[in-house]
């Protein structure tokens, strides 16, 4: 068990998400940065489907009520065990009573905490990913007890796991064509591919909005599917990058689709960060 | 009208688009019509029954299907021409066996917060609003927006009314509303801009149930009016799980 002494800014349990329930209007959810969470699971020896804790901007304070092995990946929130700084991407065995705490992130926006065997919180519709009105809680709160299995003996890291954290500061966002890409005229395309864009303060697990507007005379479309990574362009010129908790349908033109690695990059962005779009395929 | 729409479909070439890394979007004419829905749902079933290469799942909206490949797509152009050739050989038929669901709604002023307003703006008595709203068998096009939110077609034009200029920060779960040319039910407490005319005690979305939402795309929904006492009884029954929603099989 892990006891939550402080919930941090926004902390939730996430796994690979719900892939087959969009027909009921249920978002996919799941980890925002799939690369960082996969690394975290790999380091503690978990399969990639294991649930991890996703931390946002300022991490929580947690007390372990049993022994386990942990690692922290993704953004750097200066994790400490019993007040002593530890490094990201390192396997650490913790004992009953140890306290893991975090500060505000210095690089990146989302960190992942994996524990040996994964978090064992409730499964709803095939996933432990927290989402409002689907799971009992939509985030981790002060006083929560998070179920994990105790390790019987310390875990030794055998494999050397190579990781590359440079994507966290990447500003180039690779996109492919969305279903309404052809709505864009050459003037709009040159704005989209030449200008720098700024992440607005409206950013969360559902969507990231962009500050700069892209003038257009588009009509709304008949409500259709959207996916995590879809970029919508509204009639008022707003670019909306849909993320893992996005609704399953929407009525705005879907001009771009982020590549999977670029979804990870956006997940590490916060308000006022700058990005540029680049078309990935060879049609440019 | 019927003939014209069928012509639209027979002259129409489906649009296939790559969407994301592991799905294909198939688009029908950009209209909201039962003919399109029927053709789409039948083709969806045809693909589901004939596709054997790997696990796929297909979801539908107003005028498009999304075919999602669990293991990703090796050769997208092969896949597209494959599905395209199926469409050419596939024969449309009537709607499959669908169900008609009867949903109880209490149109009391205590629940229908905007009933009086709709009555004034649309020049209809409250009794007429209820009559118009309950006389139609609505077609369920798809579920989207929120978990368990039903997109229904068929609202009487006399009830069309723009969304509220100032959305409410809180709309109760079960509230029945009208927004523009659409009517629907809020499956959970949420903010909302629709004009609220009543409330149902029925639970529209149960994430822990085998079947999280009772209805399926293509089904029909009809509302019937209940009073406050019946609303209270049904609410109690819902809580104790001793209530099963009524439905009849429709062959159309």
Digit-coded pLDDT (tens) for B47-90: 999 887 788 999 999 999 999 998 888 888 888 988 988 898 88
Q: Is residue A284 part of a domain?
A: no
Question: Same domain, yes or no, for A153 and A15?
Answer: yes
Output the CA–CA distances (angstroms, integers) from residue B177 to A62, B23, B106, B224, in the order listed. Answer: 44, 34, 12, 14
- Residue A284: its pLDDT value, please? 38
Residues on chain A touching B153 (C-beta within 8 angstroms):
none
Lowest-confidence region among A198-202, B40-44, B242-246: B242-246
Residues 6+ apart with CB under 8 A from A272: A198, A199
Residue B3: pLDDT over 80: no
Beta bridge partners of A10: A56
Q: Which of A125, A179, A249 sits opposite B207 (nearest CB)?
A: A125
Q: What is the DSSP letter of B77?
A: H
Fold (CATH) for B98-250: Cyclophilin (2.40.100)
- Residue B1: its pLDDT value, please? 39
Closest alpha carbon within chain A to B211? A24
Question: Same domain, yes or no, for A132 and A252?
Answer: no
Judge: domain B2-89, CATH 3.50.50.60.
Answer: no
| CATH fold match for the domains B2-89 and B98-250 | no
Q: Do B142 and A249 touch (CB under 8 A)?
A: yes
Question: Would you call A259 an interface residue with chain B, using a CB distance cutoff of 8 Å?
Answer: yes
Question: Would you call A220 an interface residue with chain B, using a CB distance cutoff of 8 Å?
Answer: no
Residue spans of chain A under pLDDT 70: 158, 282-284
Q: Do A134 and B147 touch (CB under 8 A)?
A: yes
Domain carrying residue A268: 170-279
Residue to mutate among A223, A250, A262, with most B CBs inside 10 A, is A223
Q: Is residue A261 part of a domain?
A: yes
Q: Do B144 and A249 touch (CB under 8 A)?
A: yes
Size of interface A-B (CB pairs under 8 A): 92
Question: Same domain, yes or no, for A156 and A175?
Answer: no
* Rounded average pLDDT over B154-177: 92
Domain chopping of chain B, boundaries: 2-89, 98-250
CATH number of the domain that residue A245 is part of: 2.40.100.10
Please answer whether residues A133 and A27 qualify as being in contact, where contact means their C-beta atoms are separated by less than 8 angstroms. Answer: no
- Residue A182: its pLDDT value, please? 95
- Residue B124: its pLDDT value, please? 97
Please answer whether residues A48 and A33 qualify as being in contact, where contact means their C-beta atoms are separated by less than 8 angstroms. Answer: no
Question: Same domain, yes or no, for A115 and A191?
Answer: no
Question: Same domain, yes or no, for A141 and A241?
Answer: no
Question: Same domain, yes or no, for A222 and A110?
Answer: no
Q: Do B207 and A26 touch (CB under 8 A)?
A: yes
Tokens of residue B12, six digits: 């129409």
Residues on chain A touching B151 (C-beta within 8 angstroms):
223
- Domain final residue, candidates A133, A166, A199: A166
Q: Is residue A240 part of a domain?
A: yes
- Domain final residue, candidates A106, A139, A166: A166
Q: What angle do CA A32, A34, A35 make, to 5 degrees?
A: 130
Residues on chain B touching A125 (C-beta within 8 angstroms):
207, 212
Task: Name the pairing type of β-strands B98-106 and B247-250.
Answer: antiparallel
Q: Do B32 and A179 touch (CB under 8 A)?
A: no
Model ipTM?
0.90
Q: Which of A125, A227, A248 sits opposite B19 (nearest CB)?
A: A227
Residue B8's pLDDT band (cuts 50, 70, 90):
low
Residue B5's pLDDT band (cuts 50, 70, 90):
low
Number of domains in chain A: 2
Question: Same domain, yes or no, for A9 and A136?
Answer: yes
Closest alpha carbon within chain A to B144? A25
Please state, rounded to an integer, the average pLDDT across all residues of chain A: 95
Closest alpha carbon within chain B to A26? B147
Question: Same domain, yes or no, for A77 and A216?
Answer: no
- Residue A233: its pLDDT value, please? 95
Question: Same domain, yes or no, for A78 and A151?
Answer: yes
Residue B224: pLDDT over 60: yes
Question: Same domain, yes or no, for A57 and A133?
Answer: yes
How far B145 CA sits from the closest chain A CA (Å)? 6
Q: Do B147 and A124 touch (CB under 8 A)?
A: no
Question: Same domain, yes or no, for A200 and A272?
Answer: yes
- Among B3, B4, B12, B11, residue whose Cα is nearest residue B63: B12
In terms of Cβ atoms closer than 10 Å to its own Cβ (0-12, 13-18, 19+), residue B210 is: exposed
Closest alpha carbon within chain B to A27? B147
User: What is the C-alpha to C-alpha distance for residues A263 and A89, in angstroms, rounded to an integer?
Assistant: 21
Phi, psi of A16 (to 5 degrees): -75, -10
The rounded Cα A112 to chain-centroid distance in angstroms is: 9
Question: Same domain, yes or no, for A136 and A71?
Answer: yes
Secondary structure string (H, E, C) spanning A147-192: CCCCCCCCCCCCCCCCCCCHHHHCCEEEEEECCCHHHCCHHHHHHH
- Domain final residue, candidates A166, A182, A217: A166
CB contact residues (below 8 A), chain B span 3-22, against chain A: 17-21
Q: Given the structure tokens 């797509």, which residue do they identify?
A: B73
Please answer whether residues A59 and A25 qualify as being in contact, where contact means their C-beta atoms are separated by less than 8 angstroms. Answer: no
Residue B2's pLDDT band (cuts 50, 70, 90):
very low
Q: Do B144 and A25 touch (CB under 8 A)?
A: yes
Q: Do B61 and A22 touch (CB under 8 A)?
A: no
Question: Would you call B70 an interface residue with chain A, using a CB distance cutoff of 8 Å?
Answer: yes
pLDDT tens for A45-74 read 999 999 999 999 999 999 999 999 999 999
Question: Would you call B147 an interface residue with chain A, using a CB distance cutoff of 8 Å?
Answer: yes
Extract the runs of DSSP E, i.e. beta strands, from chain A: 2-6, 10-14, 52-56, 61-64, 68-76, 80-81, 84-85, 92-94, 99-101, 107-115, 145-146, 172-177, 197-203, 207-210, 224-225, 230-233, 239-242, 249-250, 254-258, 274-279
Closest alpha carbon within chain B to A220? B30
Q: Do A179 and B25 touch (CB under 8 A)?
A: yes
Residue B195: pLDDT over 90: yes
- Among B84, B60, B20, B89, residue whose Cα is nearest residue A262: B20
């Amino acid at each position: 068990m892990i006891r939550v002494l402080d919930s941090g800014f926004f902390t939730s349990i996430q796994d690979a998400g719900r892939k087959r329930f969009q027909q009921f209007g249920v978002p996919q959810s799941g980890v925002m940065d799939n690369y960082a969470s996969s690394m975290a699971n790999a380091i503690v020896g978990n399969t990639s489907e294991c649930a991890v804790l996703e931390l946002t901007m300022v991490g929580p304070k947690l007390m372990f009520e049993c022994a386990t092995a942990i690692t922290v990946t993704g953004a750097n929130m200066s994790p400490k065990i019993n007040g002593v700084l530890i490094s990201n991407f390192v396997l650490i065995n913790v004992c009953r009573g140890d306290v893991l705490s975090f500060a505000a992130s210095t690089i990146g926006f989302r960190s992942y905490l994996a524990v040996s065997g994964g978090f064992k919180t409730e499964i709803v519709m095939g996933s432990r990913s927290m989402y409002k009105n689907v799971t009992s809680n939509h985030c981790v709160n002060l006083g929560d007890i998070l179920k994990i299995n105790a390790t019987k003996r310390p875990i030794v890291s055998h494999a050397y796991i190579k990781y590359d954290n440079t994507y966290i500061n990447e500003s180039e966002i690779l996109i492919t064509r969305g279903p309404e890409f052809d709505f864009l005229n050459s003037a709009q395309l040159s704005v989209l591919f030449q200008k720098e864009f700024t992440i607005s303060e409206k950013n969360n697990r559902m969507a990231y909005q962009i500050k700069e507007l892209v003038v257009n005379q588009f009509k709304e479309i008949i409500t259709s599917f959207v996916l995590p990574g879809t970029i919508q362009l509204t009639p008022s010129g707003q670019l909306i990058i849909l993320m893992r908790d996005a609704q399953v349908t929407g009525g705005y033109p879907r001009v771009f689709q982020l590549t999977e690695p670029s979804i990870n990059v956006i997940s590490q962005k916060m308000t006022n960060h700058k990005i540029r779009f680049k078309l990935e395929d060879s049609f440019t | 009208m019927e003939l014209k729409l069928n012509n639209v479909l027979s002259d129409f070439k489906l649009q296939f688009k790559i969407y994301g890394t592991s799905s294909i979007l198939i688009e029908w004419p950009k209209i909201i019509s039962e003919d399109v829905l029927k053709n789409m749902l039948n083709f969806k079933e045809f693909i589901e029954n004939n596709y054997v290469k790997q696990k796929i799942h297909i979801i539908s909206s107003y005028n498009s299907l999304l075919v999602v490949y669990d293991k990703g797509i090796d050769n997208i152009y092969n896949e597209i021409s494959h599905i395209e050739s199926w469409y050419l050989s596939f024969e449309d038929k009537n709607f499959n066996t669908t169900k008609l669901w009867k949903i109880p709604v209490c149109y009391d002023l205590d629940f229908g917060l905007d009933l009086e307003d709709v009555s004034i703006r649309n020049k209809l008595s409250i009794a007429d609003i209820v009559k118009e709203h309950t006389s139609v068998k609505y077609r369920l096009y798809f579920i989207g927006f929120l978990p368990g939110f039903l997109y229904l077609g068929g609202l009487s034009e006399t009830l069309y009314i723009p969304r509220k200029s100032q959305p409410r920060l809180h709309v109760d779960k079960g509230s029945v509303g009208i927004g523009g040319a659409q009517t629907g039910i809020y499956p959970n407490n949420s903010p909302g801009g629709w004009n609220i005319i009543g409330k149902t005690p029925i639970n529209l979305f149960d994430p822990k149930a085998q079947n999280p939402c009772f209805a399926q795309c293509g089904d029909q929904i009809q509302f019937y009016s209940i009073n406050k006492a019946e609303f209270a009884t049904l609410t109690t029954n819902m809580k104790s799980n001793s209530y099963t929603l009524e439905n009849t099989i429709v062959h159309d």
